Structure 1
Amino acid sequence: MDEVTLIGIDLGKHVFHVHGQDAKGHAIFRKKLSRQQLLSFFSNLRAVTVVMEACAGSHWLARKLNAMGHVTKLISPQYVRPFVKSNKNDYIDAEAICEAACRPAMRFVEPRTEAQQLLAALHRTREGLVTERTATINRIHGILLEFGVVVPMSKATLRRLPDVIAIHDLPVRLLQIIQRLHEHYKYLDAQVVETEKELVAQLHGDENAARLLSIPGIGTITASLLASEIGSIAQYAGGRNFAASIGLVPRQKSTGGRAKLCGISKRGDKHLRHLLVQGARAVIQRVHKRNDRLGEWIRSMLTRRHSNVVACALANKLARIAWAVLTKHTEYQGSLLVRTS
């Protein structure tokens, strides 16, 4: 055990497969441990480097192992896959994780703090509630349409839906069904509002959030998600690296000295990318009110490119600006970055 310098863990719900190797990459042991046995095993082991894929439960386990004195590193699963040899099983996966971690140019994922994970959980909860609320609205609309009733599904109409459909000659049982769905909609809408209040409350007193909110197109939801997903800003060498981690830079298929750029890569957090693109669209819609350099750049792009392309390009620029304001401890004010501390 004294020779072990690197341990790879293939994570599971109840069973974990562990691969240990020495400094030269020679396998020392393979173990299959339960969740309780895993923590006990590492608590009795001298400090080593532990690597695992960045997935569900990895950030929690990384914090536990770091507290024991170990050095924990997380790797994106896409970088581990090329090192899986021949047939696939859990032990080979753990060995592939060790092999990937030995590469000098390997990129690692920054483990999230508990606060960042709580913020991310709030976002996932809100996203699920919004999806359920939309599905409920569509369900009401579809059922009424089956009986020849067409009403606009605006918020004002939904608030007084029973009164709106009361003028139509509908079966009593149908009215009961609509009433039940309407109550469910009101519950989901209230839950969304409460979740958004929690997100706003968590942003108060956060200097980084205040800086992010100064950027055009970034509101409370996007700023809080950025704060939870970005982790340590020092892990990104530049704004382009951060934009690339969200999937807002072009995919490349370059060869033979000829550069060929495709559409955006769509890697990283899909929800964060969606929010940045929607924020960019909001900025584009009001670009006539902007007299700064950003407004000039958007108007110039719109004369040459489709609005969808400009939205993605602007989302890329907003991500780079977010990296800049967090790195330089500044706020965005028009064409200038004004130092605040």
Structure 2
Amino acid sequence: MDKITRVGVDLAKRAYQVHAVDRAERPVLARPMSPQRFEQWAATLPTGCVVAMESCSGAHHLARRLRLMGLDARLIAAHFITSFRVQGASGKNDANDAAAICEAASRTRTRCVTVKTPEQQGWQGIHRLREGYKEERTACINRIRGLLAEFGLVFPQSPDALRRVLSDVLEDASNELPGVMRLGLQRSQAHWRVLDDEIAWCDQQVKLHVRQDRAATRAAQLHGVGELTASALVAAVGDMSQFKSARQFGAWLGLVPSQNSSGGKHRLGRITKRGDDYLRTLLIQGAKSALLAAPKRSDRISQWLQQLRERVGWQKALVALANKNARILWAVLTREIDFDPEHVPPIPQCKLPMLKAPLPV
């Protein structure tokens, strides 16, 4: 066991595939283990041994347990591991994946995912529950609307419009709805109300999170960043200092243009859309409200946003504001300062005009 210096683990529900190497990069162990057997085996590893895993379901929990044992647990995104599988796409299996994870962990340029705390995962769970309830509510509304259309009852697409007339339609005896269908739609209507209550409860918890967390309170001060976005940001990122710069944080969110450059010619395309889809969507949706309210404000960012909209159009201005808000969030949270819409950044020393030395007399 003292010879093992790095371990790659491919996680699954009932079996973990383990691949361990020594200092000379020679395989020492390659076999599957049950989760309980793996934890017992990991306890015998030397202190500081690197144990790498894919960032997947249960990986953060296992990484926290391994760190309590004194091991260097690392999480790697799945798309960084694929290129290290020497067998290619046709040779994918648990053993090859574990070997690829072990190989990826040996590269200093491989970026690892920060291990989340239980509190972060808890708040992320609230956001995922809310998104699930929202999708389920949309499906319920569409189901009710489709069933009513079968009997010639068509209403405007707004959920509020359907909510106002649904009770009267179910009680109206002049339409063709049979009795069993009325009972079924009444149950769907009750399910709709339950989903509304669940979403409202999640919103209350998000508001409580923003009030209790100082970082979330600072994030919610930005134009286009509401309580939902601020709570999701703190839950997903945690320590913002893990990013070296605001530009790196914007790139992690996928808000920077993709590149296809070669030979000194720079070709920029659409945004990369990498990183957290939910967080990126919230930033862009919040930018819409900020862009609509920009003509009513007189601060520097709102003036810049109006000029940008006139120059490049609505959609590009939205993405630009989302990227700008991401960079401001990095600066606000890493420096632990409040947001100032009138802030003027200092001019870098490299861009200051050079003073000419006086001529000798």
TM-score for the superposition, normalised by structure 2:
0.90
SS of the counterpart of 1:304?
helix
Question: Superposed, which structure 2 residues align to 1:163-174 within 5 Å?
Answer: 163-164=168-169, 166-167=171-172, 169-171=175-177, 172-174=179-181
| Match for residue 158 of structure 1 among 154, 163, 171 | 163
- The alignment status of 1:99 with 2:106, answered yes or no, reads no
Structure 1 residues 310 and 18, CA gap change in structure 2 (3 angstroms)? same
Q: Equivalent residue for 1:78? A: 79
Deviations 1:22-49 (Å, cap 9, x if unpaired)?
2232212112100111111112222211
Return the alpha-carbon distance in structure 2 between the equivalents of residues 304 and 160 of structure 1: 44
Counterpart residue identity of residue 120, structure 2: Q
Q: Equivalent residue for 2:144? A: 140
SS of the counterpart of 1:105?
coil
Counterpart residue identity of residue 249, structure 1: V
User: Which runs of 5 or more residues in structure 2 are unaligned?
Assistant: 346-361
Question: Superposed, which structure 2 residues align to 1:90-129 within 5 Å?
Answer: 90-129=94-133
Superposed displacement of residue 221, structure 1 = 1.0
Return the alpha-carbon distance in structure 1 between the equivalents of residues 22 and 333 of structure 2: 39
Return the alpha-carbon distance in structure 2 between the equivalents of residues 244 and 287 of structure 1: 25
Superposed displacement of residue 72, structure 1 = 0.8
Counterpart residue identity of residue 163, structure 1: D
Question: Superposed, which structure 2 residues align to 1:166-245 within 5 Å?
Answer: 166-167=171-172, 169-171=175-177, 172-245=179-252
Question: Superposed, which structure 2 residues align to 1:1-341 within 5 Å?
Answer: 1-47=1-47, 48-86=49-87, 87-152=91-156, 153-155=158-160, 157-158=162-163, 161-164=166-169, 166-167=171-172, 169-171=175-177, 172-336=179-343
Counterpart residue identity of residue 163, structure 2: L
Counterpart residue identity of residue 175, structure 2: D
Give the conservation status (yes or no) of the 8 Å contact 1:325–1:337: no
Question: What stretches of structure 1 move > 4 A for 4+ residues in a row?
Answer: none
SS of the counterpart of 1:262?
strand
SS of the counterpart of 1:332?
coil
What is the RMSD computed on CA atoms of the aligned residues?
1.7
Superposed displacement of residue 308, structure 1 = 1.3
Return the alpha-carbon distance in structure 2 between the equivalents of residues 332 and 155 of structure 1: 36
Q: Equivalent residue for 2:357? A: none
Give the conservation status (yes or no) of the 8 Å contact 1:281–1:311: yes
Structure 1 residues 337 and 196, CA gap change in structure 2 (3 angstroms)? farther
Give the conservation status (yes or no) of the 8 Å contact 1:157–1:164: no
Superposed displacement of residue 157, structure 1 = 4.8
Return the alpha-carbon distance in structure 1 between the equivalents of residues 85 and 217 of structure 2: 44
Return the alpha-carbon distance in structure 1 between the equivalents of residues 152 and 110 of structure 2: 60
Return the alpha-carbon distance in structure 1 between the equivalents of residues 26 and 332 of structure 2: 45
Superposed displacement of residue 307, structure 1 = 0.8
The alignment of Structure 1 onto Structure 2 pairs a total of residues equal to 338
Give the conservation status (yes or no) of the 8 Å contact 2:18–2:31: yes
Deviations 1:114-152 (Å, cap 9, x if unpaired)?
000011111111000000001111111222222222233
SS of the counterpart of 1:330?
coil
Deviations 1:68-115 (Å, cap 9, x if unpaired)?
111111111111111101123212211111211111222111011100
Counterpart residue identity of residue 298, structure 1: L
Structure 1 or 2, whichever has the larger Rg, is: 2
Return the alpha-carbon distance in structure 2 between the equivalents of residues 37 and 78 of structure 1: 28
SS of the counterpart of 2:311?
coil
Return the alpha-carbon distance in structure 2 between the equivalents of residues 191 and 159 of structure 1: 20
Give the conservation status (yes or no) of the 8 Å contact 1:240–1:320: yes
Superposed displacement of residue 337, structure 1 = 8.4
Return the alpha-carbon distance in structure 2 between the equivalents of residues 149 and 231 of structure 1: 49
Return the alpha-carbon distance in structure 2 between the equivalents of residues 186 and 155 of structure 1: 12
Return the alpha-carbon distance in structure 2 between the equivalents of residues 314 and 138 of structure 1: 33
Give the conservation status (yes or no) of the 8 Å contact 2:127–2:232: yes
TM-score for the superposition, normalised by structure 1:
0.95
Q: Equivalent residue for 2:356? A: none
Residues 89-98 or 150-159, more deviating: 150-159
Superposed displacement of residue 12, structure 1 = 1.0
Structure 1 residues 337 and 19, CA gap change in structure 2 (3 angstroms)? farther
Give the conservation status (yes or no) of the 8 Å contact 1:54–1:76: yes
